[in-house]
Structure 1
């Protein structure tokens, strides 16, 4: 064997020996830590139109999602029964958003509420008359909460709708644990009244980006995040109405619905990916039952939810389910890293 051949053989042998000496023994390498599933919380304010109740429930069935519906209780009163509600500092029968069109509509809405609850969705409070309560006292807020509870519990009897489903009153007394303030308008008095009234979460906040909800006095406080949107990636609150104002100044532009839907979807997807590939902080998205800009924002929601809620490492859950899991000490579901 030539000298060069002997050197090459020695080098190969040395490398093989070194590799054997420094290789990790089988099974000694620690597994990568499990990552929490990405949580997405989708909610709807006011929860009025029957067609949108049906559409949202169908979306949930397709994707395995569970939603939170922030109900305005004036939609459980018709023009004949509107006097059952008296807002703080107002005369009876006043509302910023009207009332149900008829007793039949109330009946249909009650049916949708019951079906959604039976399917595992979260029924929460948006108050009643959609008034801005920034100047209300704690007592004012407690009056509003009491009105909501009374009207929900007695909705069948108030409107003369029969039969009342078995267990309805028990559901009305105990199922509603969350609140979102109209106009996202909050105050010290509101946050004093919420735990006093037995609420477990509030979803009226706004944050610069997705954040973990802090808990104060037993109340989890969620915030809709501002997310980058549009060609200049300017921040906007992740709610359909705010996008509607951003895109068209709050006026209908149906000819641009496709463009607005795509911009909304891209903003949602980018905000999702940022958390999904990062710290996996829960992402919250808010909607109404109104089809603004020819349904652009609902079209974007259905596209988004249809892609992300079906992922094995994503959970599209309600606010109630999220706080229940945290409160019980149950660890968030995780997936292999």
Structure 2
């Protein structure tokens, strides 16, 4: 079976437990013009950017638009002598865990600066440790989409570029409103063939390198299978088997069409108390996507 790492467990734990209070920096600098950061490919097929913290670095942080909050390694939090704000508790699979919240006074992303940003140190086993163990990939943390709340965030995957802008999107024919009940961008995708149509919700998630991972409630689809294979999906909670299926259908996200998409059936991959799936880098790699988190708007090019 082929390893296909998905940042699903991390995503759902963070967005349901922590996002209420720790999902954005206190403030950010204004930008006279857009600033660009290079998206660095990781061995896990995710992407990272380099940032400075308190004028030190650079440090490598993976980008995860499927998480509202951000994570830093305990090692780097100690090295930078960051202030521990508080201990937070959460439950996963009926087990109780503790995480520590640390404050970053200043993070610099090229010309952009964010201030007083509270980030989590996740207990072991952590996703940072999983990346090292499984892929020999060293990252210093994970930046959730909330890190960019005060800016327009553009991810241009074909050009491997992340751009931050001051300003806002206009609600017009080129933009669409996304669901924001979890403080992450959740959109509607329609799967259809000549006889069937099924509409489902998906979080736009750079933490997954698949095309579509189905919502937990979806056990079967009415479309013809082209091929199927068992895969391993990995996270710091371990690796689980899942079924990946290529289907004869078109997946439509607004005016973007994906022919014969692949879907991963979510059987115990992440918490079952959500009604959305995950649309990952397998889709996003073709697109340029801009998020306005304040107005809950997305523009897809």
What TM-score do you get using the length of structure 2 for normalisation?
A: 0.30
**Which is higher, the Rg of structure 1 or of structure 2?**
1
Which structure is higher in helix share? 1
What TM-score do you get using the length of structure 1 for normalisation?
A: 0.28
